[in-house]
A and B are shown apart, each in its own frame.
Chain A
Amino acid sequence: GDSVTQMEGPVTLSEEAFLTINCTYTATGYPSLFWYVQYPGEGLQLLLKATKADDKGSNKGFEATYRKETTSFHLEKGSVQVSDSAVYFCALKDNDMRFGAGTRLTVKP
């Protein structure tokens, strides 16, 4: 069945460092791809999405490109801030939404 694999954490970075969180997927159809974020003490919220191959989703300085040839949707940000500390979940949606295990990011001042 459809599934998502994302890099294990935790990830600890200094402020202004470059961030990459890898995500690959397996799907039989043509899913939409998402990154959700869960800030401490809050619920899951959508960070960005891409609905077809070569689409780039972006929000709050984060970007991810839907790469069908490599079945990937890696999350990147050029300069992280302390406020980006959260758990990030990669997800795909075909008939239903399936999530990866999550990657905890801690950004230190």
Chain B
Amino acid sequence: EAGVAQSPRYKIIEKRQSVAFWCNPISGHATLYWYQQILGQGPKLLIQFQNNGVVDDSQLPKDRFSAERLKGVDSTLKIQPAKLEDSAVYLCASSSTQGGGMNTGELFFGEGSRLTVL
């Protein structure tokens, strides 16, 4: 079974530029997450999708960050304009949904996209 795919693995941009990250979850996984992991910290949830609907985006800085999952499969996360403090690893994860809409719990993570903002 193929894992969660993310690209690009590394990106270096200057502040005020824009960047986009792509994620392809495990086939059949209805729930998709984007996390931000700053060096030395635990992952922080940015947004959670269930199929193509947003479940939780309370911690997404909506003035500069946006995310979409148009067909309930792939997802993109965009930052525009980037700030120095956005330097982090952006992790995509997915999980399956049992009958009745309950998540099984385990999240499967991609290898992440490391962003450096200069």
Using a CB–CB cutoff of 8 Å, the interface residues on chain A facing chain B are 4, 32, 34, 42-46, 49, 51, 89, 91, 93, 95-102
Q: What 10 A-B pairs are tightest by C-beta distance, nearest first? A: A99-B42, A44-B109, A43-B111, A43-B109, A32-B105, A101-B42, A99-B43, A102-B42, A46-B106, A100-B42
Complex CA distance for A49 and B112, rounded to whole angstroms: 22
**Pick the contact of A89 from B33, B42, B105 — CB < 8 Å?**
B42
Q: How far is the CB of B7 from chain A (nearest CB, A)?
A: 14
Contact indicator per residue, chain B 75-118, by CB within 8 Å of chain A (1) or not (0): 00000000000000001010000000001011101111000000
Residues of A within 8 A of B106 (CB): 34, 46, 49
Contact A43 B112 (CB under 8 A): yes
A4 to B56, CA, bound (A): 19
Chain B proximity of A27: nearest CB distance (Å): 14
- The answer to whether B56 and A102 have CB atoms under 8 Å apart is no
Residues of B within 8 A of A44 (CB): 43, 91, 93, 107, 109
Nearest A-chain residue to B4, judged by Cβ:
A43
- Chain A proximity of B32: nearest CB distance (Å): 12
Provided the pairs A44-B43, A99-B42 are in contact, do residues A93 and B105 lie with their beta carbons within 8 angstroms? yes
Least CB distance from A51 to B in Å reads: 7
The answer, among A4, A34, A91, A93, for a CB contact under 8 Å with B103, is A93
Given contacts A43-B91, A95-B56, 5 further A-B pairs with CB under 8 A are A4-B42, A96-B33, A96-B48, A97-B93, A99-B43
Interface string of B37-62 (1 = CB under 8 A from A): 00011111100100000011000000
Closest CB in chain B relative to A103 CB, distance in Å: 10
Please give me the residue from chain A that is nearest to B45 by CB atom. A96
Instruction: Assess the B105–A49 pair: CB atoms within 8 A.
Output: yes
A46 to B3 CA separation, bound complex (whole angstroms): 13
